[in-house]
Structure 1
């Protein structure tokens, strides 16, 4: 019987244009990508319950009581199973410094549970060209989406397995479905069973986990692409870089942007220039 995996995805980075971290408008992120994790279908229920319990262990002392209180003030029903802690809030630099032990331990438990269940981490993205000319957010999204399907299809083909995708709901939902159908039928991506299912993250513990992982992928990719602009993200590289690298499959952020020359390259160019300049001066003196 063919094994079936479920892949849970969210976005990391930003699909809009990027100029610099200090730009008043286009300052969000130099990378856009899609990421999350994959699990064998028969372990999804176990992992969902694990993540639900993990959130309670982490947030029972403050966040959950506060959320319950706010719901009561609004005369609304509070349902713990639909309560969500956003990854962007959980994985901030301030939180990681202040609660390093809690966050690193819980993250390692989360990743260990995924791999022990036969799953893996997954992400794919690309560094955006700096500037707003010719930047198209929809094309940026589609590029990562197509690459994501291609890599997952190749991975599961090697495993003689098939897969389904669950994603956080997106405003481009119709375009996403059309693109997936095209890849499935026109580009012969046979391991993908059906077009992605788009869901409300509040109702899915697994999608919330993908959101947490994407918060990490976003910090790691920013630091890898533009470390001089975000030295504070080095802490994410230090605590999570190796662990993510060990648990991932077929994942990376494509970076085709020209890199600034290294100092030794500049020194060699300077030496070469000075040498040529001395030769020219010597030849002039001989004349």
Structure 2
């Protein structure tokens, strides 16, 4: 059996730019993490725990169990990490190398969001909920295909959410798995709907959070012209991720004239979105205007 540990990439809400005071979180939303054979999951968790305890020994409070202490991916991979704490990147690189040794894979599925405020994109709570459900369905489909390729069943686990959200999500995920299984046999590979686990109790869920942080920053680099994360494709330790993503990993672009990004392409230094036009003469101001036109087009199509 395979075990898939996943967490969220970004948020479902509106996005304009990382510097925007309200809509700054992420240009895409989805899920990511890693998949590993069950017999190797404990070894990876133990390795992660030991490295974390060793690496952050000066940050872990003396009265706190090192195993339950968390370092969030957003704090590990902050914007200036390549200059100020390159050792964080080396740590993540070593963990991905260990995952490779244990026959595991990285995974992500994310969908680009229309750029603009909720009013400009005509998106609200209903659309945000639909965005979340669509991303989860695609994530389950792709994990199932990966498991089927390896002739294995898979158990999906994700970070704990509040009880209300869990109760709302569970019937939808269960219905999707059962409903799709009649036409797509690979869905039968998923043993149960995703189980929710408190990240404090699972080092592997904590590692999935770190992978999501990496994917989120790589996606921003690809979708935001003046991204803060130019170090992602140039980091030597992060090259450990290349070739490690599942075949099914994808960044689905929104109404673009270029192909979606797959596998390790989000880590490429080339950015097709901005390099499609040689010597792109657009200023940041004009790029923003084009994004708003695209958002207005999206709004008109929904009417």
Q: 1:183 to 1:245 in 2, by over 3 A?
A: farther
Q: What's 2:192 paired with? A: 194
| Residue 183 of structure 1 pairs with residue 176 of structure 2 | yes
Rounded to whole Å, the distance in 1 between the matches of 2:43 and 2:15 is 40
| Residue 257 of structure 1 pairs with residue 259 of structure 2 | no
Residue deviations 1:209-259, cap 9 Å, x none?
A: 011111111100011112x131x3010122166432311002121113335
Rounded to whole Å, the distance in 1 between the matches of 2:279 and 2:230 is 23
Tell me the SS of whatever aligns to 1:257: coil
Name structure 1 gaps, 5 residues minimum: 72-77, 267-287
Residue deviations 1:33-79, cap 9 Å, x none?
A: 1000011011111111110001012111x201xx23xx5xxxxxx22
Q: 1:24 to 1:106 in 2, by over 3 A?
A: closer
Rounded to whole Å, the distance in 2 between the matches of 1:263 and 1:96 is 29
Structure 2 counterparts to residues 1-287 of structure 1, below 5 A: 4-60=1-57, 62-64=58-60, 67-68=61-62, 71=63, 78-100=64-86, 102-131=87-116, 132=118, 133-135=122-124, 136-171=127-162, 172-188=165-181, 189-226=187-224, 228-230=225-227, 232-239=228-235, 242-249=239-246, 250-258=248-256, 262-263=277-278
Tell me the SS of whatever aligns to 1:10: strand
More off after superposition, 134-143 vs 8-17 = 134-143
8 Å contact 1:126–1:255 — kept in the other structure? yes
Q: 1:264 to 1:104 in 2, by over 3 A?
A: closer
Rounded to whole Å, the distance in 1 between the matches of 2:43 and 2:216 is 27
State the aligned residue count: 250
Q: 1:26 to 1:104 in 2, by over 3 A?
A: closer
Q: What's 2:290 paired with? A: none
Larger Rg: 1
Q: What's 1:275 paired with? A: none
Rounded to whole Å, the distance in 2 between the matches of 1:152 and 1:111 is 19
Rounded to whole Å, the distance in 2 between the matches of 1:142 and 1:122 is 18
Rounded to whole Å, the distance in 2 between the matches of 1:127 and 1:233 is 17
8 Å contact 1:220–1:241 — kept in the other structure? no
Tell me the SS of whatever aligns to 1:234: coil
Using structure 2 for the length normalisation, give the TM-score.
0.77
Q: What's 1:285 paired with? A: none
Q: 1:30: how far off?
A: 0.8
More off after superposition, 86-95 vs 4-13 = 86-95
8 Å contact 1:17–1:26 — kept in the other structure? yes
Q: 1:169: how far off?
A: 1.4
Q: 1:176 to 1:245 in 2, by over 3 A?
A: farther
Rounded to whole Å, the distance in 2 between the matches of 1:159 and 1:80 is 35
Structure with greater helix percent: 1
Using structure 1 for the length normalisation, give the TM-score.
0.81
- Runs of 4 or more, structure 1, over 4 Å off, are 263-266
CA RMSD in angstroms comes to 2.0
